[in-house]
Amino acid sequence: MNKTAKIVVGIVVVVLVIFGLSSMSKKSGTDSETVKIGFMGPLSGDTANIGQNAQAAIAIAVDEINNAGGVLGKNVEVIYEDDGCSGATAANAVSKLINTDKVVAILGAACSGATLGAAPIAEAAKVPMLSYCSTNPTVSQAGDYIFRNVPSDFFQANYAANYLMGKGMKNVALLTSKDDWGDGLKKAFTDAFTKAGGVIVSSDSFDPASKDLKAQLTTIKGMNVDAVYFAGYTDPSIAGLKQAHDLGIKAQFFGADAWDDTKIWSELGTLGDGAMFTVVGTNSSADFKAKMKAKLGKDDLIYCSNYAYDGLKILAAAINKADSVSKTAVKDALSKIKYTGGVGSAEVMFDNNGDPTTAAYIIKRALGGKLTEVSQ
């Protein structure tokens, strides 16, 4: 998942890495009390609900890990950094986690742009980084130390394209966020949909902070489309769906995993009725749902949180498997890990690109401000 980021230019990456490496002490990731793992996510801004939700899930995982004996006989300590869903902010956050906090590994980021902004620094410092929610296909080539336990948008876009074609929606307009996440989905969806025989009637994009999509939607209204593939983050999606309703557009609106933010549907209420989207499936247990409800004070489980919870457990398992806080040893252990019983995926293993070896998606539909799973 990604909200655009101004990807950090090479010279900034180099300066950050050189400064960080020169200031590193022999103390690395562990002190007499704890093993430190960094977290990056959007804790502020219009996607803050996603990051804060994930933070709650990680707090649950920390308690469970530590109550079971911790890692290498020590408690896990998570250092939280707000990346604002921005590549530039994420670059600063990852540099702090590596150079100041001396973390063993990093869980994050959520947004693809943030992950891609941070990845060159983590890769240069040889610090393992595991994203719990970044889906842009280019993350697969981000480096040997970069992993994720959510599948690439390549699979999500194919799933969406095949679903729409299977329902007879052969003429589609694209409306996508102008950032790493939106651009990745647009390319993957276009390739899959046209290969299946569908027609992309129009393709337009918007600034990820925009709350005015009337011009794009007015153009779409004048076209004969069966569906609008709308890949946007929280605030643009709320604004765009309201404006589409006001314009009287009758086409099916179909989105992607960022629409799993419950804030969208609670604010839209009935104005969001009928909108559908793909999201990677989860393996939530009743126990995990109950713990999240208790932690949040409400039912508000976002799928990224399942993968964040699993992500911390996976990193803890890799450190134990490595029997060391050596970052290279942890990276090697991660590449060979087989994690089972998760609340994201029932089983996680990584391929040579650090991607999960399996992918499973579901479709949700909005009705009355709530989401229900669609029977296929």
Please report whether residue 354 resides in a domain.
no
**Residue indicated by tokens 């999960």:** 356
Q: What is the pLDDT of residue 375?
A: 79
Q: For residue 248, what are its two tokens?
A: 């009287």
pLDDT in tens, 158-176: 999 999 999 999 999 999 9
Please report whether residue 353 resides in a domain.
no
Please report whether residue 168 resides in a domain.
yes
Is residue 1 scored above 70 in pLDDT? Answer: no
The percentage of the chain sitting over the pLDDT mark of 90, rounded to a whole number, equals: 90
> At residue 23, what is the residue type?
S
Q: Clarify whether residues 131 and 254 are in a common domain.
A: no
Q: Clarify whether residues 138 and 158 are in a common domain.
A: no
**Using an 8 Å Cβ cutoff, are 175 and 231 in contact?**
yes
Q: Clarify whether residues 96 and 237 are in a common domain.
A: no
The CB-based long-range contact list for 289-296 (8 Å cut-off, 24+ gap) reads 291/60, 292/56, 292/57, 292/60, 295/56, 295/57, 295/59, 295/60, 296/53, 296/56
**Residue indicated by tokens 């946007």:** 232
Q: Shortest CA distance to 130 belongs to which of 40, 192, 254, 62?
A: 40
The CB-based long-range contact list for 148-152 (8 Å cut-off, 24+ gap) reads 148/115, 148/354, 148/355, 148/356, 149/307, 149/310, 149/311, 149/314, 149/344, 149/345, 149/348, 149/356, 150/280, 150/304, 150/307, 150/344, 150/356, 151/280, 151/355, 151/356, 151/358, 151/359, 152/355, 152/359
Q: Clarify whether residues 81 and 219 are in a common domain.
A: no
Question: Which domain covers residue 193, as residue numbers?
Answer: 153-281+361-373
Helix (H) or strand (E) holding 307, with range, is: helix 303-322
Q: What is the pLDDT of residue 32?
A: 57
The CATH number of the domain where 248 resides is what? 3.40.50.2300
Tell me the average pLDDT across 275-295: 97
pLDDT in tens, 208-250: 989 999 999 999 999 999 999 999 999 999 999 999 999 999 9
Q: Clarify whether residues 148 and 217 are in a common domain.
A: no
**Using an 8 Å Cβ cutoff, are 361 and 157 in contact?**
no
Residue 118 pLDDT class (50, 70, 90 cuts): very high
Higher-pLDDT residue of 360 and 25 is 360
What are the start-end ranges of the E strands in the chain?
34-41, 75-82, 105-107, 129-131, 146-148, 171-177, 199-206, 227-231, 252-255, 276-280, 339-340, 347-348, 361-367, 370-373
pLDDT in tens, 172-195: 999 999 999 999 999 999 999 999
Domain count, the chain: 2
Q: Clarify whether residues 42 and 158 are in a common domain.
A: no
pLDDT in tens, 66-101: 999 999 999 999 999 999 999 999 999 999 999 999
> At residue 48, what is the residue type?
A
**Residue indicated by tokens 């314009």:** 247
Q: Clarify whether residues 147 and 166 are in a common domain.
A: no
Residue 324 pLDDT class (50, 70, 90 cuts): very high
Residue 3 pLDDT class (50, 70, 90 cuts): very low
Please report whether residue 111 resides in a domain.
yes
Nearest-angstrom CA–CA distance, 57 and 32: 26
**Using an 8 Å Cβ cutoff, are 85 and 35 in contact?**
no
Please report whether residue 5 resides in a domain.
no
> At residue 166, what is the residue type?
G
Give CA separation, 45 vs 79, 192, 376, in Å. Answer: 20, 32, 34
Tell me the average pLDDT across 22-29: 40
Q: Clarify whether residues 228 and 115 are in a common domain.
A: no
Q: Clarify whether residues 179 and 158 are in a common domain.
A: yes
Q: What is the DSSP string of 106-167?
A: EE--SSHHHHHHHHHHHHHHT--EEESS---GGGGGS-TTEEESS--HHHHHHHHHHHHHHT
> At residue 77, what is the residue type?
E
Q: Average pLDDT over the chain, rounded to whole?
A: 92
Nearest-angstrom CA–CA distance, 153 and 20: 32
Q: Clarify whether residues 274 and 159 are in a common domain.
A: yes
Q: Which residues contact 215 (CB under 8 A, 6 or more apart)?
A: none
Give CA separation, 24 vs 19, 21, 145, 240, 280, in Å. Answer: 9, 5, 19, 47, 38
Q: Clarify whether residues 189 and 144 are in a common domain.
A: no
**Using an 8 Å Cβ cutoff, are 122 and 40 in contact?**
no
